[in-house]
């Protein structure tokens, strides 16, 4: 097909024509330019031409995509300093926007954990492990003594291992060996008895993948999943690399060949490559006609991983039907917070926002509006204060119904979001250097993505 150059002075028109050609049999290779200034008559003529072409092309094309919602998503992404936004609907690339910058590797942060889930699923598919209910001591015999012998792979994946860990990651990043740090951790709680988001325990999964497969986790995923998917633009950092960098300030790539790939974070990847993993899940674990990861494992991604937090699955986060699910901040939550002996001013204001909220972001915005919380710098400093006081639970309660999607999520607002019934895969990534505060977390991303298909 030939190459067409279209001059357009409005993002939405360029979006429309890209989408239309992606949905029809006629698929030219289109380059769009957005000049700084345009003669008004020429601009009007270009709009008329584009709208006419669009109207003709729409005949016979799928019109389930809500273009207004797509435009709103792109605008909100730009307003929150997003570095890369990718949206697929079905197999059609609807949005691939780096907002004026060249696409580059971004740290997926904790969204890396969801990729580790796929490594475990591949081990199961390849019969290299029998079940995630196997004890970790099968791979690390030093755990066969004492209560650690009860810890299973599942416990590592659903954050109920009971291993000691700080909520923040300072201790981990100071260690030269993240797997050994996890192996050496004390047992604070009986395995399976308590939910605690545990970065330290997650890192042990990299060691288990290597023990079971015989090769490093990043190499295993490269051979078994990334290469078959055609993924090239990524880099997985190791604990040795980071320890050397933190000690010397020198980024020496030789250290990427040493140590353990980090399971809790540090997969550097472009948004477009990250989206390929979402498409793989959308395709139920198949590449071409080959079942690479058992479909039954991928179905587990859409189930709660434990009984304590309904939104946390096996290293993925669940998204519930926004029409029938909600969160509440009621007397029970206030009673828990009262035990922390918060400043009276804060507690009085918290009482004023009791009630039910359609979405967590609605509650968070209400929390941010309180003068006492604003005085602390917003909800994130407030949460850190609660962590320091030993309170790690959500301060609201979920009332959930049907799971409609899943997300891989990381600090600063990294997202890989999948809605199977709507055929949507969406990625949003932000460079930490561009992050200016909680607004840039883009907490409403999942909901805006859900609205893309009518």
- pLDDT value at position 15? 54
Q: Is the dihedral of CA 54, 57, 60, 64 positive or negative?
A: negative
d(CA 47, CA 295): 46
- pLDDT value at position 41? 52
For the record, the structure tokens of 378 come out as: 């917003």
- pLDDT value at position 18? 52
For the record, the structure tokens of 66 come out as: 């809500």
d(CA 285, CA 282): 8
What is the full DSSP assignment across 315-336? SSEEEE-TTT-EEEE-HHHHHH
pLDDT in tens, the chain (454 residues): 333 333 344 444 555 555 444 444 333 333 333 433 445 554 444 444 444 444 433 333 455 899 999 999 999 999 999 999 999 999 999 999 999 999 999 999 999 999 999 999 999 999 999 999 999 999 999 999 899 999 999 999 999 999 999 988 999 999 999 999 999 999 999 999 999 999 999 999 999 999 999 999 999 999 999 999 999 999 999 999 999 999 999 999 999 999 999 999 999 999 999 999 999 999 999 999 999 999 999 999 999 999 999 999 999 999 999 999 999 999 999 999 999 989 999 999 999 999 999 989 899 999 999 999 999 988 889 988 998 888 888 899 999 999 999 999 999 999 999 999 999 999 999 999 999 988 999 999 999 999 999 8
Could you tell me which residues are beta bridge partners of residue 95? Answer: 87
Q: What are phi and psi of 402, to 5 degrees?
A: -90, 135
pTM, two decimal places: 0.86
- pLDDT value at position 393? 84
- pLDDT value at position 40? 53
426 three-state secondary structure: strand
- pLDDT value at position 2? 34
- pLDDT value at position 63? 56
Contacts from 246-252 at CB under 8 Å and sequence distance 24+? 246/173, 246/174
Distance from the Cα of residue 208 to its chain's centroid: 23
65 in Cβ contact with 94 (< 8 Å):
yes
- pLDDT value at position 454? 87
152 three-state secondary structure: strand
Taking each continuous run of H as one helix and of E as one strand, the counts in the chain are 18, 16
154 three-state secondary structure: helix
Could you tell me which residues are beta bridge partners of residue 97? Answer: 85
Sheet holding 326-329, edge to edge: 355-357, 326-329, 397-399
Q: What are phi and psi of 379, to 5 degrees?
A: -70, -30
- pLDDT value at position 341? 87
Looking at the chain, which residues constitute the CATH 3.40.710.10 domain(s)?
106-308
Sheet holding 106-107, edge to edge: 106-107, 267-269, 234-236
- pLDDT value at position 263? 98
CA geometry: angle 230, 233, 238, nearest 5 deg:
115
What is the CATH architecture of 106-308?
3-Layer(aba) Sandwich (3.40)
- pLDDT value at position 421? 96
């Amino acid at each position: 097909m030939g190459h067409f150059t279209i001059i357009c002075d409005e993002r939405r028109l360029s979006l429309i024509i890209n989408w239309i050609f992606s949905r029809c049999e006629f698929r030219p290779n289109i380059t769009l330019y957005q000049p700084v200034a345009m003669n008004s008559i020429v601009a009007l003529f270009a709009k008329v031409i584009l709208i006419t072409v669009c109207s003709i092309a729409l005949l016979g094309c799928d019109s389930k995509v809500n273009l207004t919602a797509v435009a709103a998503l792109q605008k909100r992404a730009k307003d929150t300093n997003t570095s890369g936004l990718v949206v697929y609907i079905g197999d059609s690339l609807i949005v691939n926007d780096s907002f004026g910058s060249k696409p580059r590797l971004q740290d997926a942060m904790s969204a890396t954990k969801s990729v580790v889930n796929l490594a475990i699923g591949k081990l199961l598919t390849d019969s290299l492990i029998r079940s995630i209910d196997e004890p970790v001591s099968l791979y690390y015999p030093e755990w066969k003594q004492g209560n650690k012998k009860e810890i299973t792979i599942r416990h590592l994946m659903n954050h109920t291992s009971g291993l000691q860990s700080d909520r923040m990651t300072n201790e981990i990043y100071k260690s030269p060996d993240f797997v050994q740090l996890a192996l050496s951790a004390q047992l604070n709680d009986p395995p399976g008895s308590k939910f605690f988001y545990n970065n330290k325990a997650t890192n042990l999964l990299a060691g288990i993948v290597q023990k079971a497969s015989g090769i490093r986790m990043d190499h295993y995923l490269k051979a078994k999943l990334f290469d078959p998917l055609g993924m090239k633009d990524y880099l997985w950092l190791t604990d040795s690399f980071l320890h050397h960098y933190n000690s010397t300030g020198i980024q020496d790539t030789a250290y990427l060949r040493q140590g353990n790939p980090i399971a809790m974070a540090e997969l550097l990847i472009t948004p477009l490559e990250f989206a390929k993993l979402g498409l793989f899940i959308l395709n139920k674990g198949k590449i071409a006609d080959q079942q690479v990861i058992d479909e039954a494992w991928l179905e587990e991604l859409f189930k709660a991983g434990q009984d304590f937090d309904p939104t946390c699955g096996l290293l993925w986060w669940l998204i519930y039907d926004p029409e029938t699910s909600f969160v509440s901040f009621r007397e029970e939550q206030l009673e828990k917070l009262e035990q922390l002996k918060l400043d009276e001013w804060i507690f009085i204001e918290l009482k004023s926002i009791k009630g039910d909220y359609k979405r967590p972001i609605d509650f968070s915005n209400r929390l941010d509006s309180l003068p006492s919380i604003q005085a602390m710098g917003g909800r994130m400093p407030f949460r850190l204060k609660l962590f320091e006081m030993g309170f790690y639970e959500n301060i609201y309660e979920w009332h959930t119904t049907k799971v409609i999607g899943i997300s891989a999520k990381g600090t600063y607002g990294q997202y890989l979001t999948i809605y199977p019934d709507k055929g949507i895969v969406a990625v949003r990534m932000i460079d930490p250097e561009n992050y200016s505060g909680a607004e840039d977390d883009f907490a409403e991303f999942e909901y805006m993505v859900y609205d893309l298909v009518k």
